[in-house]
Structure 1
Amino acid sequence: MRPSAIVARYHDAMRGKSADALADLYAEDAVHEFPFAVPGFLPDLTGREAIRAGYRAMWDASPVRVEEIRGVVVHETADPEVVVVEHETAGTLGTTGRPFTVPGLLVLRVRDGRVVHCRDYMDAAALARLREAGGMPGGTDPAR
């Protein structure tokens, strides 16, 4: 599978909050890193099943509804296995329906049609605001 097809399926999994669809894109021994992680957010994940379990736990616990992945730009690099993906995740928060956006950057290494390594750079300040508003585990949303 070409990296651009993997990016499209990755974004589909995000919109659907499908940990299975996301994990199925990864090699069995893949690594998913969060270099700018907010304290208390997901730790780095090693292995397809850890990625599946980590995302299932996060997405099941979060009332965030992802409605759109926009501003997607895929940059191919000199290394044919590596693509850099810019995007912005937009949706609504909890039961308040308040809109949110979180800019992000993915650096994906794809080998034999599977993600073998992902560096997931999300805007840590935007995630902290979202968490404080109750959109992520550990936050409080008085409307819930």
Structure 2
Amino acid sequence: MPLARASSWRLRAVALAALLLLLPAAPGRAQGLGEAAGYAASLDSSRLSGVVGQEVELAMTLTPPLPPAGYFVTALVTPLEVPAGPGPGILPGFPVTVVVPRASGRHRFAVRVHLVTKSSCGGVDALPVLDTTLTLDVAPAGP
């Protein structure tokens, strides 16, 4: 899905991700989420390479592979360090987030994955299952 057509979906994902940033990651949090305890997520690779203007897929895996009933998976990829110039385009998703680098050089991203459940009253609870960094080495676009 091109970045331009995903703006509405992207805004909703960013709003949810911002809400998740406000939730504290406390030790023992998994016990409060019942059947979600014991889940983990991982990046398929913590170092990738790409080319300016071309999509790079950040693939992630959830273990066990299906979230428990009533939960869904969210992924948030945030630039930590990027070269000078325009920032990368990021289309969040799970199990794949798409990054379009707009400048050559080394990029570093924070990658966070949560299991989220929502009550009928509008509250949410989230279990962090991945909090790591990813390095993306970007080459200039060819002639």
TM-score by length of 2: 0.30
The structure showing larger relative contact order (alpha-carbon pairs under 8 Å, at least 6 residues apart) is: 2
TM-score by length of 1: 0.30
Higher strand share: 2
Higher helix share: 1
Larger radius of gyration, structure 1 or 2? 2
